[in-house]
Amino acid sequence: MVLNQLYIDNIFCEDYISCLNKNYICEDKLSVSCVDNCFVVPFQSTPTGSPYGNGGCYDDQLNYVKSSGTYAENLLVEPESVNDAECDYVDETVIYAGYFIKHWGHFIVDFLPRMWWPALHYNGEKIIYLKNGDAAIDGNFMEMLKIFGIDPDKIKAIEKSTKFKKVIIPELALQRPDKIYREALLVRDRIVKNAAQCCKYDKVYLTRRSFPKAIDSEFGEEQVEEFFRDNGFKVLSPELLPVAEQVALFSSCPKIACLSGTIPHNIFFGNSDTELIIVNKLTRINTTQLMLNQLCGANVTFIDAFIQLLPVSPGAGPFWMLINDNMRKYAQDHAMVLAEKPIDYTDILIRYFLVYNRIYTYPLEKGGVIMGSPLPLDEGAERKDIFSYYRNKLGNINIDASVRVDSGENTKKLERRLKKENAIKKCRRKCKDILRSLKRRLILKKEQLCVEA
């Protein structure tokens, strides 16, 4: 049985509880479509270069096979029109694995969930899939499918429209944002069995600090990492581990801690003996994570340990982690050591705004309020004033724009990039402009961001 412990900020705590109380497990049986003379259309991104687009499978009457789509976020939908006049014909029966996105989280939640049917019935057929541009299955993705039991030579990307003698199209066993089927456990059990390893540690913290993307846009994880290291957790970088070891870690390590995001999605390989501690880095509630937690039955603790002054994308950031009252309460409740060090938030705040300004081009809300939501707006969540809530948690900060932004590994990389653009002076001016703009547009109540030339 899933046990959820919450150390969550008050602003969206009710939303968290509401999501946790939902039952995401669907007891219905999944379907599989076996389509003769099936016409398979490759992925076409719309707009070009984006992960969203169209493609999939058609029967011999050119009726779209709806189960071949990936409808979460409208990643893969039916094309507006198709033409089977010019296509290759392959006299084989193949298995359709869906749309592959070269991202570990999407691989777990949008690709592997079709593999329940091969887990039961695989007899050496080719596995076909759609890909975006040159993003083919390789590296750790291919290694995972090898562990599953598929020869790499059997895995084929659809590069052009192709008609097959027969295509077997399994329905997705995980259908975001609110449905997961027990057949997904067939995939987990096969991979865990074939990985055939056990984790040699009792407690592990999985860090993102070696991940290139995180170096540039995530601040403060070193404090969280140090807390868990001081309490006996082995610190590992999951992307540096062989795939079989990653599977073994989540299937057999008794206690795992990590930041929210892709890493905890690996609880897909866990079970009811797994204790997972997820340190949240933003207000967004990841309902896919709740679905995976519920399916495997893990005992999960959620800890909000972040400052989010501005609305951010879960995939882009920036993210600002810190030791806060939630972490202190968790440490106290679990008799853990927490050795806090004085932190100057000035430098982090400047870097946070600089990275935000680089990533996003849309204007912030006018009228003094910056809003955020714990869920996508089409899921009915209420937007609230996140800036004022989290700004108040920081206390007084005096920003001196003349301070060099050069402390910490993340900032050194940021500074090198800005130097290449001949923009150190421009960077400081931009920082002052951003803060002045915020000061003009936001109601800061009694506290102010003060910029001195």
Q: Interior CA angle at 229 toward 228 and 233, to 5°?
A: 75
Task: List the single range of 93-107, 117-131, 279-293, 416-430 with lowest mean pLDDT.
Answer: 416-430
Q: Reply yes or no: is the peptide bond before residue 318 cis, omega within 30 of 0.
A: yes
Which range has highest mean pLDDT (39-48, 247-256, 339-348)?
A: 247-256
Residue 81, pLDDT score: 81
Backbone angles phi, psi at 287, to 5 degrees: -65, -25
Q: Between the CA of residue 271 and those of 187, 189, 295, what are the distances in Å?
A: 13, 10, 9
Q: Would the pLDDT of 445 be above 80?
A: no
Task: Note the residue count of the chain.
Answer: 453
Share of the chain above pLDDT 70, in %: 85
Closest CA to 305 of 451, 176, 205: 205
State the average pLDDT over residues 363-372.
68
Task: List the single range of 85-99, 117-131, 375-389 with lowest mean pLDDT.
Answer: 375-389
Q: Reply yes or no: is the peptide bond before residue 238 cis, omega within 30 of 0.
A: no
Higher pLDDT, 20 or 440: 20
Residue 386, pLDDT score: 94
Closest CA to 125 of 99, 101, 159, 153: 153
Residue 422, pLDDT score: 41
pLDDT band at 436 (very low <50, low <70, confident <90, very high): low
Residue 449, pLDDT score: 42
State the average pLDDT over residues 274-291.
96
pLDDT tens-digit series, residues 127-166 = 999 999 999 999 999 999 999 999 999 999 999 999 999 9
- C-alpha 269/C-alpha 274 separation (Å) is 10
CB neighbour list of residue 180: distance below 8 Å, 6 or more residues apart? 24, 25, 26, 173, 174, 291, 292, 294, 295
Closest CA to 267 of 97, 111, 109, 73: 109
Share of the chain above pLDDT 90, in %: 70
Closest CA to 188 of 262, 252, 259, 284: 252
pTM higher than the cut 0.95? no
Structure-block tokens of residue 445: 């109540």
Query: Quick check: 322 and 390 in contact, CB under 8 A?
Result: no
Task: List the single range of 24-38, 280-294, 402-416 with lowest mean pLDDT.
Answer: 402-416
Q: Which residues pair with 156 in a beta bridge?
A: 128
Q: Would the pLDDT of 302 be above 50?
A: yes
Q: Would the pLDDT of 415 be above 90?
A: no
Q: Would the pLDDT of 171 be above 90?
A: yes
Task: List the single range of 35-49, 89-103, 140-154, 221-235 with lowest mean pLDDT.
Answer: 35-49
Structure-block tokens of residue 258: 């990590």
- C-alpha 171/C-alpha 339 separation (Å) is 50
Residue 311, pLDDT score: 92
The owner of tokens 């972490």 is 327
Residue 107, pLDDT score: 98
Q: Would the pLDDT of 113 be above 70?
A: yes
Q: Would the pLDDT of 395 be above 80?
A: no
Task: List the single range of 240-254, 311-325, 345-359 with lowest mean pLDDT.
Answer: 345-359
pLDDT tens-digit series, residues 189-216 = 999 999 988 999 999 999 999 888 888 8
Q: Between the CA of residue 407 and those of 142, 191, 210, 219, 449, what are the distances in Å?
A: 39, 43, 18, 12, 21
- C-alpha 71/C-alpha 53 separation (Å) is 10
Domain ranges of the chain: 4-23+198-441, 31-172
Q: Would the pLDDT of 341 be above 90?
A: no
Q: Would the pLDDT of 349 be above 90?
A: no
Closest CA to 5 of 280, 337, 412: 280
Over the chain, what is the mean pLDDT? 87
